[in-house]
């Protein structure tokens, strides 16, 4: 799917959505469109960040046969997993068509199958069959997904996953179930903070959280305060 076909699909989804959802979709998509021209500039920086290897430990214990990343950008986190565990089948999706094109090219250059990389939004993974991957994960993706889209995004992620999902997000037990948007502490921009345990418990067999050690991300007060890995074991 090229960029024009992808945008046409988004337009169709936008037109058929409810009015309040259309407003939130437009805000979300406008935010993404502004980043498309610079796809990949921040990806390598994030992959080399100490938080990435910390998260991978949770994703790959026990070692799965396949992993899927929602919001995979140019695929740098998936490549890092492949570097550590060569036999894992790696897939991902991102709303950014420019990033996915780059990811596919990088995978091909490294002789890694790229047929499991998709250009699609988190709330519509309909092209992916049920239980396609052992483990699915996110890294700072749902912090920019608003409250009208978070539940369909989570349910879609669970639908395509066999064993567990691992989220690295802003977890705040004092927030509402669906979340609240507020200024990030000490950083620019606004992001969504949610009680992911409350959100996931009706959908999963068990949910646990692990707070990120402050020394992993010392330059970000918001991640020091609210950064958690959320692990949801799924029903068989």
pLDDT score of 3 = 43
pLDDT score of 148 = 85
Rounded mean pLDDT, 43-58: 83
Neighbouring C-beta atoms of residue 136, cutoff 10 Å:
32
* Eight-state DSSP code of residue 9: H
Q: Tens of pLDDT along 53-94?
A: 999 999 999 999 999 999 999 999 999 999 999 999 999 999
* Cα distances (Å, whole numbers) of residue 27 to 14, 22, 74, 180: 12, 9, 22, 16
Higher-confidence position of 182 and 227? 227
Structural domains in the chain, CATH included, are 3-233 (3.40.50.150)
In Å, the largest CA–CA distance within the chain is 46
Higher-confidence position of 32 and 235? 235
Among residues of the chain, what percentage have pLDDT more than 70?
Answer: 74
Q: Tens of pLDDT along 88-115?
A: 999 999 998 989 999 999 999 999 999 9
Q: Given pLDDT bands bounded at 50, 70 and 90, which one contains residue 1?
A: very low
DSSP string, 16-60: HS-HHHHHHHHHHHHHHHHHHTTTTTTHHHHHTSHHHHHHHHHHT
Residue 215 to residue 30: CA distance in whole angstroms: 33
Query: pTM for this structure?
Result: 0.82
* Cα distances (Å, whole numbers) of residue 114 to 9, 55, 101, 161, 177: 22, 23, 10, 19, 36
Strand ranges for the chain from DSSP E: 66-70, 89-94, 117-119, 133-139, 161-170, 180-183, 190-193, 206-211, 227-233
Residues linked to residue 211 through DSSP beta bridges, in sequence order: 228
pLDDT score of 13 = 58
Please tell me whether residue 70 adopts helix, strand or coil conformation: strand
- Provide φ and ψ at 141, rounded to 5°: -105, -45
pLDDT score of 15 = 52
Residue 141 to residue 104: CA distance in whole angstroms: 20
Tokens of 76: 């740098």
Question: Reduced to 3 DSSP states, what percent helix, strand and coil does the chain have, rounded to the nearest 5?
Answer: 45, 25, 35
Q: How many residues make up the chain in this entry?
A: 236
CA atoms within 13 A on the CB side of 52: 18
Residue 91 to residue 229: CA distance in whole angstroms: 20
């Amino acid at each position: 799917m090229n960029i024009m076909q992808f945008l046409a699909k988004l337009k169709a989804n936008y037109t058929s959505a409810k009015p309040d959802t259309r407003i939130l979709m437009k805000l979300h998509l406008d935010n993404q469109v502004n980043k498309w021209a610079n796809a990949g500039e921040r990806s390598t920086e994030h992959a080399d960040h100490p938080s990435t290897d910390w998260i991978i430990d949770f994703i790959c214990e026990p070692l799965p046969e396949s992993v899927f990343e929602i919001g995979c950008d140019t695929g740098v986190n998936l490549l890092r997993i492949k570097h550590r565990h060569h036999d894992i089948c790696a897939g991902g999706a991102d709303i950014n068509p420019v990033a996915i094109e780059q990811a596919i090219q990088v995978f091909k250059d490294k002789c890694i199958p790229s047929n499991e990389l998709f250009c699609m939004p988190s709330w519509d993974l309909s092209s992916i069959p049920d239980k396609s991957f052992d483990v699915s994960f996110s890294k700072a993706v749902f912090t920019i997904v608003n409250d009208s889209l978070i539940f369909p995004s989570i349910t879609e992620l669970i639908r395509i996953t066999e064993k567990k999902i691992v989220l690295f997000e802003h977890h705040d037990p004092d927030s509402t179930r669906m979340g609240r948007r507020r200024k990030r502490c000490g950083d620019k921009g606004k992001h969504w903070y949610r009680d992911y345990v409350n959100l996931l418990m009706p959908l999963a067999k068990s949910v646990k959280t692990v707070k990120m050690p402050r020394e992993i991300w010392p330059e970000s007060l918001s991640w020091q305060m609210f950064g958690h890995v959320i692990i949801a074991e799924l029903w068989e």
